[in-house]
Structure 1
């Protein structure tokens, strides 16, 4: 066995480079973070062949003194920490002092800088590990780091680089992360001589639009929450704007982009009730906390962190996002620059602009509502806003129609500002969609999906408050059941009672339903009972009432929601619209599908080429 000996510094740097500089994007990340730590306000990035041929980062930061240029390329040389206590309270993005040294060991690096207040810029060159003497340079301010021929002296690593297009895509991702985290910076990215990105210093919402697109910016929710020293800000995408991949999920902890399982799980759980199947949400979140409460020194690339109180972080993130997503009511328009509420809390959602009144046709009488309106949409009182249409050419509000049974008359709105966000129903299309007229166009509602969400949220609220009213059946309904279902009723009668069901064993293979939840009174009692028994039998009563509770209630709501091809009267349609406006998360059904969409007058005009 050979004798133990210390490794040369150059080899140590190359070994470190294998961890820190995985690809050109890794080197770019280190250089950009150094520029931010130097207080730069303007950054320019030049790439060639995806960064494998050239990476140049130029900033207007504080600069480096002449006698410190060579030291900056030395291993573990840094101005950012001086003691173990500093390492426990890291506030800068870079701090190890190994980034530049590692990059220099596997490339041809030129470092030029002009210290603030200095009349002369200087540069040093590192080639294959050797650092040359400082020379005068031409630079107006800040620092420029030029990295050429990455891995030119480590061919075994170079052959693992992908195509220039792939490497550029990774570099662009690193650039976008910096752009999203610091909207106050002016940034430029050039690849092979062509400008790919040019971003001016702007507001946070403007930067979101520039980087993530109009669809995200137009629907994103503004997030702002605080608990003690823990603060969450940023933007969460609407559940209807989702992707198949996670390429638009950005989390920053004290300004540092991270991938953390605790954070990802909390966000996913917050979206679970409104996101469709395997779709991924879009979000840009900023977590700020005491630097001593998070360890950023757990991975060489510094993209992983360890929280001291990970469960507290999880709960805080989940509740903050869940509260914001709960405000995605149908008809609401998101305000990206929402002002704070008088009590200091964030305002995440603002109602859409005013709507023009739609009046009900002649012949809609008090009896038209029927039993359906009175049972499924109990408590809705806005339907009597609709009035008979007598003079289409007149813009004056017409006298209101006779009030519906059981609902007192309500005065018509005095202005457009008092009209409901989803407008008033016009008709039903193929027994599936409700068409409503709003001020700025046409609203289309999937009636089953919308009512499913309304019932689901009511069931959750009732179960949370232990006030799940039941509806006794006039005549108990007997149905054949297998022995496992009979055993489930015998063993879990108390759990069934909490869910609003009363069932009786009529024989070895026969059960009877005596009562069901009042909110589901129009559902098929037998089918509903079988569904609930199947869920309890599969996962157990305790899990059904805890971790699987929402899934069970969603299934129950699906049984209780109005079915397709069910003919609704106009009062019933308007009642559903009012319920949607008042229900949390009503923009999506229980499976994450959208429940409504708006077709504006401009879009309709384009379809008919009006004004063209």
Structure 2
């Protein structure tokens, strides 16, 4: 057994760097936050080679004197906290005192800084965590940090960095997050000598959000509940995306990643936003500093609240009420305890009726059990009688009795333009028409993809689609993958794509929404197996092209859908997203229910 030992400072710094510095965008985030905390109003970021070769961040902040500059590159050195009590009311973006020494330990690092009243500035140079070299220099007031050859001394970390385009897109996203936090900042990004982003200061967050989401019509919502201020700029539900990548969340000006907060925003849209979809936009939460703990993540990307339920409740209620009067759709009444039930808390005595954001509320009492459609029809209906018969619905049919089972069913008819009711010798089968057609299309698309024979429908006029810079880069990197999926895309700008062709099986889908969702699925694949990512993208396309809840089907079309289900090669009772296709109601169960 090896003896316990104290790690050398340089090795400890590199380990700490692994928590703080993940990629060039992490460097940019930390340096920009330091500049903001130093009172900077103008920040310029320059990168080369995606930030791997060079990151330089210049600001017009307060600057530092020589003794402060010497201390700033040492671990746990900070001007932002002095006592334990300060941790309970942190109002700055940075406070750990780890960013500069961590960055310096894995790069060729230099810092040039000067206060406005100083005659000369100070330069600190560090190479790979070595002892700093400090000298006087002439420089402008403020601070400039230059980081070259990131991870040059940690090749194991460097090899995990992505392509230059991908890393550049992550840097841009880091600047976008900083820009959305403070509209009064002037931010410039220079990529390989060319200005890639320039944002002038403005007095309104809404103007900054509109500038960064030019393709969206954002509704402004604001309100206060339980001393928690909410301000948001959100897209219409039809513009929602798979995943929350384009939903930016801020707590006291700090960008955070929080699934619970994102779900609370989605809840506010009610039934018009399918599960897993989130609006585009930005939500600001302002709360007393002592009610939130920002010291729970090395990169300060997560927070913890003293009363998380109160925060979630405030977000959902304020947004729901505001969305109800937005230009998208007028309000209608909901029960006073609607959101309390939705959030799993008891109704408050002072509660008042909330607005239904999209006018989809049902006045009749909710049934004990309801079969949810895949995509809600224009007016959801309570199916009390039907749901009372579906005690076996949760399990679904066990195994299909024999090949050709679905084609042998007798179609009774379509219910609520959502379900196909069929009769068999032992009972009734209720099919979700969207889930069934989605399963059929998924099977066909997957077979065509495996044989590289996906039929494509070319668009007469290519459709322009605005995407995030990271998604545009993904199109360039995965062009062959997308073409194999039946999507012919071309990048014609930093954030603009041209859609030339889509799979013929999903030609009825909106090209814009289809592209957004497929790119979101490919981007979210992460370390998932490549085949799984492709299957997920195919499932997304199948969903877009499938029959929707609310589509009217003739008896002949219902019969053709049943026959198509019989041709599915590996039918597993569920659509590609896991929802049951068919529900069985046996005649024995029916007889018991009616007292026969």
TM bracket (short chain): 0.5 to 0.7
Q: Residue 554 of structure 2 aligns with which residue?
A: none
2:209 matches 1:208: yes
Residue 211 (structure 1) shift? 1.2
Say if 1:70 and 1:131, in contact at 8 Å, map to a contact too. no
* Native 8 Å contact 2:262 2:278 kept in 1: no
Q: Is the 8 A contact 2:226 2:314 kept in 1?
A: no
- 1:141 Cα shift? 1.4
Which residue does the alignment assign to 1:116?
Answer: 116
Q: Give the alignment partner of residue 533 of structure 1, picking from 388, 401, 408.
A: 388
C-alpha contact 1:528 1:556 (8 A) present in aligned 2: no
Which residue does 2:234 correspond to in 1?
236
1:529 to 1:36, Cα distance in 2 relative to 1, 3 A? closer
CA RMSD, 1 decimal: 3.1
* Partner residue, 1:156: 156
Preserved contact between residue 237 and residue 272 of structure 2 (Cα < 8 Å):
yes
Structure 1 pair 16/84, CA: closer, same or farther in 2 (3 Å)? same
- Are the structure 2 counterparts of residues 273 and 151 from structure 1 closer, same or farther at C-alpha, using a change threshold of 3 Å? same
In the TM superposition, residue 127 of structure 1 has moved relative to its aligned partner by 1.0
In the alignment of these two chains, the number of paired residues is 369
Matches of 1:240 and 1:77, distance apart in 2 = 48
1:321 to 2:296 alignment: no
Supply the distance in 2 between the matched residues of 1:147 and 1:248 (Cα, whole angstroms).
Answer: 29
Matches within 5 A, 1:110-259: 110-202=110-202, 203-213=204-214, 215-216=215-216, 219-259=217-257
In the TM superposition, residue 536 of structure 1 has moved relative to its aligned partner by 7.3
Matches within 5 A, 1:320-399: 320-328=318-326
**3-state DSSP of counterpart to 1:68:** helix
CA distance in 2, matches of 1:110, 1:248: 34
In structure 2, how many angstroms separate the alpha carbons of the residues matched to 1:53 and 1:260? 32
After superposition, what is the alpha-carbon deviation per residue over 1:418-468, rounded to whole angstroms, capped at 9, x for unaligned?
A: xxxxxxxxxxxxxxxxxxxxxxxxxxxxxxxxxxx86x43x24x549xxxx
Indicate the residue corresponding to 1:510 in structure 2. none
Q: Distance in 2 between matches of 1:143 and 1:303?
A: 24
8 Å CA contact retained: 1:273, 1:592: no
Q: What is the alpha-carbon distance in structure 1 between the residues aligned to residue 311 and residue 298 of structure 2?
A: 23
Residues 145, 225 of structure 1: alpha-carbon distance in 2 compared, 3 angstrom cutoff: same
Shift of the 592–24 alpha-carbon distance from structure 1 to 2, 3 Å rule, reads farther
- In 2 relative to 1, CA 191–530 (structure 1 residues): closer, same or farther, beyond 3 Å? same
CA contact 1:230–1:288 (8 Å) conserved in 2: yes
The Cα shift of 1:134 comes to: 2.4
With the length of structure 1 as denominator, give the TM-score of the two structures.
0.56
Post-superposition shift, 1:278? 4.6
CA contact (8 A) 1:240 1:592 kept: no
Q: 1:29 to 1:23 in 2, by over 3 A?
A: same
- Seen in structure 2, the aligned counterparts of structure 1 residues 2 and 64 have a Cα distance that, compared at 3 Å, is same
Deviation track 1:548-574 (CA, whole Å, cap 9, x = no partner) reads xxxxxxx97989xxxxxxxxxxxxxxx
CA distance in 1, matches of 2:6, 2:305: 35
Against the structure 1 CA distance between its residues 328 and 266, is the aligned structure 2 distance closer, same or farther, given a 3 Å change threshold?
A: same
Cα distance in structure 1, aligned partners of 2:4 and 2:237: 59
TM-aligned CA deviation for residue 530 of structure 1: 4.6
Alignment of 1:548-559 (within 5 A): none
8 Å contact from structure 1 (residues 275, 592) kept in 2: no
| 1:291 pairs with one of 272, 289, 292 | 289
- Cα offsets for 1:37-73 (capped at 9, x unmatched): 0011000000011111101000001111111112100
8 Å Cα contact 2:50/2:167 also seen in 1: yes
Which aligned pairs between 1:40-79 and structure 2 lie closer than 5 A?
A: 40-79=40-79
**Is residue 324–residue 330 contact of structure 2 (8 Å, CA) maintained in 1?**
no
- Report the more deviating stretch, 249-258 or 204-213: 204-213
- Distance (whole Å) between structure 2 residues aligned to residue 281 and residue 536 of structure 1: 35
Q: Secondary structure at the match of 2:386?
A: helix
SS of structure 2 residue aligned to 1:140: coil
The structure number with the bigger radius of gyration is 1
- Deviation track 1:13-56 (CA, whole Å, cap 9, x = no partner) reads 10000111011111111101000100110000000111111010
Change (3 A) 1:331 1:302: closer
CA distance in 1, matches of 2:315, 2:384: 36
Distance verdict in 2 for CA 1:277–1:32, change over 3 Å = same
Task: Give the SS at the match of 2:223.
Answer: strand
- The CA distance in 2 between the partners of 1:76 and 1:60, in whole Å, is 24
Kindly state the Cα deviation for residue 299 of structure 1 after the two structures are TM-superposed.
1.1
Q: Gaps (5+ residues) in structure 1? A: 334-452, 465-491, 497-519, 541-554, 560-590, 594-612
